[in-house]
Structure 1
Amino acid sequence: MKLVVQKFGGTSVATPKSREMVLKHVIRTKREGYSPVVVVSAIGRRGDPYATDTLLSLLEEVGGEVPARERDLLMSCGEIISAALVAALLNAKGHPAKAFTGGQAGIITDDRFGNAAIKEIKTDVLIDAVKQGYIPVVAGFQGITENGDITTLGRGGSDTTAVALGAALGAECVDIFTDVEGIMTADPRIVKGAHILDTVTYREVTEMAYNGARVIHPKAVEIAMQRNIPVRVRSTFSDSPGTLITCGPERLITGIAHIPHLAQICIKVPSDDRSVEVRIFRMLADAGISIDLINLFPDLKVFTIKEELVEKAVGVLEGIGVIPEVVRGLAKVTVVGAGMRGVPGVMARIIEALEGENIEILQTSDSHTTISCLVRDEDAERAITALHKKFEL
C-alpha cells in the first residue's frame, strides 16, 4: 500500500472550477497506483462564506471575550465543510471517498485551544478506509483532545495536519497544493527574475517560511525534517512538479524573504538596573506581544514588533514607567542560505547591494542561515530586488 498525502489549500477548493482541478490530481494519483489521503483547508479566504476568517467575523457581534473552546469549535467548521464537499464530489466521479474530521481521523492534541499541538495520531481508521477502497478526505487544521473537545492547530494548521498524517501513515511523500507553482527565490510580484526552486532543504525552506515566504508553514516542515518525509509544494492549477523539500546539498544563498509592516522599539534604560530589562520582556510576553530582531546593550534595548501592536506595546511599557521611541513603517528583508555559515563576505555583499540603492539599514540580525536587515517599507521592494540581483539568484 503506497500512500501519498495530498493537501489542498483554501483557493484550491474555493470554486467549482478549482475543485475540478483538485479531483483531477487526486484521481490521477490513484490511477498511478498510489492510495491518496486528502487533507483540505476551509473554502476560500476572508469574504468567502465558509472561510475561517469569515466564520470568525460572526463573533464580532458577540460582546466580551468568546471562550477559546467555543471559538475553536466555530473555527473548525470551514474545513469540515470542505472535507464533506470534496468527498461527495469524488463519490460522484465514481471514486469512493469518506470525509473525516480531524478527531475522526485519529488526530489527538493537547488542550491549548487556538494553537494545539498534536500528541499522537491513531491511524487505524484511515488505514481501514484505504484498505476498503475509500479515499479518506480529512479536515485540516484541527484535532480532538482526549476529553473529546475539538481543537485547532493555529495558522497553517492544514499543512501541519498533512505532514503529521504523512509521518504517521508512513507515506511516500506529502504534496502541498496551493495557488503558486512552487517555492521561489523571491516574491515574483516584486522581483521579475524570481524563479522556482526545483529542490530546497528542510532547513532552507523553514527559514524562508519564518521570514515571510508564505508557501508552507514552518511547523509542517519541521515535522517533515524530523521524520525525513519528502514534501512537494505544487500548484493545483498546473501539472508542474513544483519544489521538492528534502535532504540535500545546501546553497550559499537560497532566496530573499521579507516581512512588511513592522515597527522598531528603542528603549533607553539605566545600565546599572538589570531589573528593568527583566520587567520589559516579561510584561511584553505576558501581553502576548512577540518580538523580533532583538539587539540588547547595557543601556539600550532595540527590537521589532508588528506595527498593529504598537499601541498595545506602548501601553504595557508606559505602565512600568518605560517611555519607548517608536519608528513605524518598516520591513524586515532576509537573505536565506543554509550554506552561508562560515563563508566570509556575505554581509559585505548585502551592504554593497543596499548601499548601491541608497537604502538605509536601521538594524540587522543574523543566524547561521540568515541575515536580516530592517529597512523602511518604501525601500523594501528595491532592497529585495537588489539583493536578488547581487547574489545572482
Structure 2
Amino acid sequence: MRIVVQKFGGTSVATPEARKLVVERIIKAKEEGYSPVVVVSAIGRKGDPYATDTLLSLLDEANGYASKREKDLLISCGEIISAALIASLLAAKGYKAKAFTGGQAGIITDDNYGNAMIKEIKVDSLIDAIEDGYIPVVAGFQGITEKGDVTTLGRGGSDTTAAALGAALGAEWVDIFTDVEGIMTADPKMVKEARILETVSYQEVTEMAYNGARVIHPRAVEIAMQRNLPLRVRSTFSNSPGTLITCKPCWISEKLITGIAHIPHLAQVVIKVSQDRDEQEKIFETLAKAGINIDLINVFPDLKVFTVKEEEVEKTMGELRKVGITPQVTKGLTKVTIVGGGMLEVPGVMARLVKALKKENIEILQTSDSNSTISCLVRSEDAKKAITALHEEFEL
C-alpha cells in the first residue's frame, strides 16, 4: 500500500464549493494509485455553526462549571461532523469511504484534557479499512484515553493528528491543505514582497511556528522530523506545489535567513531583585505554579526580564505582588524573529539586524538568540516596519 495522508483545515471544509475541491483532491490521489487517509478539521472559523470556538461558546451558560473533560467531549464534535460529511460526499461520487473518530482510528492519549499528548496509535482499524477498499476519513484534533474518555490535542491539533497517523502508517508523505499556497518568508499582511518557500527544513519551520508563523503546528513538524516523514503545505484552492518540509537542507542552507516570524500583543516584565537567591528563585517558581508562560527570558544578578502575553499581565502582576515583588511592565510590544539554518556559526548576523532596525529608527527593547534564530522585542507600532526592514536586509 502506498499510503499518503491528506489533512484539510477548517476553511477547506467550510463551504459546499470548498468541500467539492477537497473530494476532488482525495479522488485524484486515489486514481494516482495511492491509498489516501484523510484528516479533517471542524468546519469553518469562529461564528460558523460547528467551529470549535462556536461549540465552546455554548458552555457560556454553564457559568464556568463545565469540566475540561466535558469541554473536550463537546468540541470534539466539530471534527466528527466534518469526517462524516466528507465520507458521505466521497460515497456520493462512488468511492467507498468510512468516517472515524480519533478513538476509532486508534489514537490513544494521556488524560491532559485540552492539550493531550499522543501515547500510541493502534492502526489496525485503519489498515483493515484500506485493505477493504475504503478511504478512511479521520476526525482530527482528538483521541481517547486508555479508559475511553475523549481528549483533544490543543489548537492546531489536526496537524498533529495527520503527522502522527502518517508516521504510524508509514505514509510516503503528509499533505497539509489550507487556504494559503505554502509557507512564506514573512506574513504577507506585513510584507507585500513576501514569497513562498519551495523547501524548508524541519528545524527552521519549527522555529518559525513557535515564533508566530501560523501555517502548521510545531508538534506536527516534530513528529514528522522523528520519522523523516516529508510534509507539504499546500492550498486546497490552487494547484501550487506549496512548500516541502523535509530534512533537506538540514541546517545547510543556501540563504543565511529563511524567514521572519512575529508574535504581537506581548508585554515586557522587568524585575529588580536583590542578591538573595531565594527571592530570585521565588519569581520563576511563583509564575510556574500560576501556569503563566514566559518568553524572551534574560537573567542578570540584579535584574530579571521576560515577556508575557498582554492578556496575562494582570494575573502576572497579581501573583508577583503576593510574594512581595512589584514589576515594571511595558505593554504593546511585538517579538520579531529571524529564522535560518544558514546563520549557524556565521558572525555578523546580529550586527546586520541592529543596523537595519537602527536605520529605521526602531528601538530594540530586548533580544534573545539560538543557533538558528535571533529574536528582538520592538514596539507594536514599529513591527511592520521592522519586519519589512529585515526582509530587505537579508534579501528574502
Judge same fold: TM > 0.5, yes or no: yes
Aligned to 1:326: 329
When normalised by structure 2's length, the TM-score is: 0.98
For 2:236 and 2:82, locate their aligned partners in 1 and report how far apart those are by CA, in whole Å: 16
Q: Deviations over 1:311-337 (max 9, x none)?
A: 111110111110010000000000001
Q: CA deviation at 1:276?
A: 1.4
Give the secondary-structure state (helix, strand or coil) at the position aligned to 1:30: helix
Moved more, 242-251 or 33-42: 242-251
When normalised by structure 1's length, the TM-score is: 0.99
Q: CA deviation at 1:63?
A: 2.1
Give the secondary-structure state (helix, strand or coil) at the position aligned to 2:341: coil
Give the secondary-structure state (helix, strand or coil) at the position aligned to 1:281: helix
Aligned to 1:241: 241
Percent identical pairs in the alignment equals: 75
Give the secondary-structure state (helix, strand or coil) at the position aligned to 1:316: helix
Alignment partner of 1:227 is 2:227: yes
Find 2:314's aligned residue among 311, 319, 341. Answer: 311
For 1:233 and 1:149, locate their aligned partners in 2 and report how far apart those are by CA, in whole Å: 32
For 2:281 and 2:65, locate their aligned partners in 1 and report how far apart those are by CA, in whole Å: 29
Aligned to 2:350: 347
For 1:59 and 1:267, locate their aligned partners in 2 and report how far apart those are by CA, in whole Å: 38
Give the secondary-structure state (helix, strand or coil) at the position aligned to 1:165: helix
Q: Deviations over 1:37-92 (max 9, x none)?
A: 00000011111100001111111111234211111101111000110011111111
For 2:335 and 2:170, locate their aligned partners in 1 and report how far apart those are by CA, in whole Å: 38
For 1:192 and 1:88, locate their aligned partners in 2 and report how far apart those are by CA, in whole Å: 40
Q: How does 1:83-94 map to 2 (within 5 A)?
A: 83-94=83-94
Q: CA deviation at 1:33?
A: 0.7
Q: Deviations over 1:189-231 (max 9, x none)?
A: 1111110111000001000000001000000000000000000
For 1:241 and 1:159, locate their aligned partners in 2 and report how far apart those are by CA, in whole Å: 19
Q: How does 1:260-339 map to 2 (within 5 A)?
A: 260-270=264-274, 272-339=275-342
For 2:96 and 2:279, locate their aligned partners in 1 and report how far apart those are by CA, in whole Å: 63
Alignment partner of 1:258 is 2:262: yes
For 1:71 and 1:192, locate their aligned partners in 2 and report how far apart those are by CA, in whole Å: 40
Q: Deviations over 1:142-181 (max 9, x none)?
A: 0011100000011111000000000000000000000000
For 1:208 and 1:383, locate their aligned partners in 2 and report how far apart those are by CA, in whole Å: 17
Give the secondary-structure state (helix, strand or coil) at the position aligned to 1:392: coil
Q: CA deviation at 1:14?
A: 0.5
Q: How does 1:1-393 map to 2 (within 5 A)?
A: 1-249=1-249, 250-251=252-253, 252-270=256-274, 272-393=275-396
Give the secondary-structure state (helix, strand or coil) at the position aligned to 2:353: helix
Q: CA deviation at 1:111?
A: 0.8
For 1:313 and 1:65, locate their aligned partners in 2 and report how far apart those are by CA, in whole Å: 24
Letter in 2 for 1:269: V
For 1:282 and 1:44, locate their aligned partners in 2 and report how far apart those are by CA, in whole Å: 39
Q: Deviations over 1:351-376 (max 9, x none)?
A: 01100100000000000110000000
Q: List alignment gaps of at least 5 residues for structure 1.
A: none
